[in-house]
Amino acid sequence: MTTLSGDNPSACLARIIDDLAEHGWSLQPLFIPPTLTLDLAEECHRRAAAGALVPASVGRGTLVVVSEGVRGDRIQWLETGQDAACDQYLTIMDGLRQALNQGLYLGLEDFESHFALYPPGAFYLKHLDRFRDNDRRTVSVVLYLNQDWQAEQGGALRLYLVDGETFDVLPQAGSLLVFLSAQMPHEVLPATRERLSLTGWFRRRGDGLF
């Protein structure tokens, strides 16, 4: 995948596969070119200015509710053909999906993703990405779009690791966080500035029509 940052995209993909196999998560700084990161951030801001991002909900089916006491981000789902930068990102993610299938035999069939904009002070309480009644979401992916992020601005994603430790990931532009959806509880801590990301899930085949 020549659209990844760095001189050896295959080595980057191999690191992700090895990290997931050994630890259940992987963090890759500057995963995509800075120009693509900027284009994606601009597209997120454009959609926000147009009123296209809506408050995120929690739950499924008839139990879906908007609860800012649980999560305070605003989102819009990606669709192919909407924007050139988004299409380029989705192509990169499909390459990652194929690499994960080849390396870990996960049977990943598709990918869903949305922009997420957290206003200052917004957060997302500790949770798992997999629904109780639907196990299709297998691998979670977060690409951060925030230039010049500083630790004192907050906004980290806190991973709760299997050994009982925690690890905080700062939402720095171009960084890609990948983790196993069913094994990694996490939360988004509040920040003092606006926080942008693309959040998505590789999904395997399910038994129901989800």
The pLDDT of 171-195, averaged and rounded, is 97
Task: Provide DSSP, 3-58.
Answer: TSSSS-HHHHHHHHHHHHHHHSEEEETT-S-HHHHHHHHHHHHHHHHTT--EE--B
Pairing state between β 176-180 and 137-144: antiparallel
pLDDT tens digits, 12-65: 999 999 999 999 999 999 999 999 999 999 999 999 999 999 998 765 554 444
Reported pTM: 0.91
Q: Give the domains, in start order, of the chain with CATH numbers.
A: 9-163+177-204 (2.60.120.620)
Residue type, 76: Q
pLDDT tens digits, 140-168: 999 999 999 999 999 999 999 988 999 99
